[in-house]
Amino acid sequence: MVRIGVKAQFTSIHKGSPMSTAVVDTQAGSRPTLLAALDEVEAAAVLGVHPRTLANWRCTGKGPRYIAVGRRRVYRPEDLSRFMEVHAVEPGS
């Protein structure tokens, strides 16, 4: 197994610094797997909302897809991208 550190593609809206460092596991003949994801505060910063808004969306089923890890909720960057793409509004449509 090879462990490769990869910087997350998102930067904090509030601080302008890189967010999380993701760790990717690869095995011969298998696809890489993302092991680390963004926590609630980081995901909220990517979406430009308050973390409480993200929690409210989660409770009402309106927010992005998440992963429950014990009592924590984490968000994969691709799920946040998909959420933003689905909620994009085309002007004049």
Q: Report if residue 31 sits inside a domain.
A: yes
Closest C-alpha to 3, from 32, 31, 30: 32
> Which residue range is the domain that position 59 belongs to?
2-86
Q: Report if residue 42 sits inside a domain.
A: yes
pLDDT digits (tens, 9 = 90+) for 23-63: 445 455 555 555 568 999 999 999 999 999 999 999 999 99
Cα 55 to Cα 19, 44, 46, 52: the distances in Å are: 19, 9, 14, 5
pLDDT digits (tens, 9 = 90+) for 60-75: 999 999 999 889 999 9
Q: Report if residue 92 sits inside a domain.
A: no
Q: Report if residue 55 sits inside a domain.
A: yes
